[in-house]
Amino acid sequence: MTNEQQRRAPIVLTIAGFDPSGGAGIIADVRAIEALGCTAVGVLTSITFQNAKAYHGALHQSTAAVRAQVEAILGQHEVAAVKIGMLQTSEIVREVGQMIDEYNLASPVIDPVMESSSGGKLMENDAFEVFVTELLTRARVITPNIPEAEKLAGLNIHDEGAMREAAARIRELGARAVLIKGGHRYRTASGSERVKATTHEQREAVDLLDDEGDVTIFRGDWIDGPKVRGTGCMLSAAIASGLARGFSLPDSIKEAKAFVTKTFRVF
């Protein structure tokens, strides 16, 4: 991106944790935002000590530090969209929710990060309760994976019908839109029930968007390969980038999924 292009590009704010290995968190967000033609600015909520093999802990920022970072950014830039990732403590969840309202932060795409793929717990129990009551209602869209959606909805998700029910329940909690990511599960092409397919050709990755009751199903190829960290971070950051450029939510998701799939195939 040239200096002129960067100057004119929509600005996307990511509020997320730092993964020093670069596999997830704010580094993955910045890569996705910049790749999709936007300018990234970032606020660190927590510095984690992890890599692809193990999670060793984290040092969380204070609410004052998070607020000071946001205010420094907003003092210079007009933010077109915001992606919100790791918020480990109830205090930080509450502070971010307040700032969404206070500064009218645009199009919040909230990834409810609860656990690291390398094994760490990234949201404390009391933070989860505050997330449900004070942050979920402020999202343009929330992007849980299957385990996160199961916790939010209070049911087991075993097929597409259960995805629909879970999304409806999460919307009943106050979310405007819910994208349930089903990429780590798959269904057979011949039926709606999610079961383990026996051949690559049968496998299909299915995501479900419920936007104020309007349901859209996104289907894609199931890609065999090693587990890749940070796909949820990249997807939510890419969705925010689409919204920042004026795309509709379904079109933003479509582009984001294509971007993540292309990235995944490199590994």
Contact 12/240 with Cβ under 8 angstroms?
A: yes
Q: Supply the pLDDT for residue 1.
A: 55
Going by the DSSP 8-state scheme, the letter that residue 62 receives in this structure is: P
Of the given ranges (65-74, 170-179, 188-197), which has the lowest mean pLDDT?
188-197
Which has the closest alpha carbon to 223: 267, 157, 163, 179?
267
pLDDT at 201 over 50: no
3-state secondary structure of 175: coil
Place of tokens 């730092």: 18
**Better pLDDT: 23 or 120:** 23
Q: Reply yes or no on domain 3-266 having CATH 3.30.300.20.
A: no
Query: What strands lie across the sheet with 55-60, from one edge to the other?
Result: 55-60, 39-50, 11-18, 79-84, 108-110, 141-142, 177-181, 204-211, 214-221
**Better pLDDT: 139 or 54:** 139
Distances (CA, A) of 29 to 115, 139, 152, 226: 17, 18, 24, 21
What confidence category does residue 93 fall into, taking pLDDT thresholds of 50, 70 and 90? Answer: very high
What is the domain partition of the chain in residue ranges? 3-266
pLDDT at 202 over 60: no
CA torsion 137-139-143-144 (nearest 10°) is -30
Find the distance separating the first CA and the last CA of the chain, reported in whole Å: 24
Q: How many CB atoms lie within 10 A of CB 142?
A: 31
Q: Is the pTM of this model over 0.85?
A: yes
Q: Supply the pLDDT for residue 230.
A: 82
Going by the DSSP 8-state scheme, the letter that residue 190 receives in this structure is: T
Contact 256/37 with Cβ under 8 angstroms?
A: no
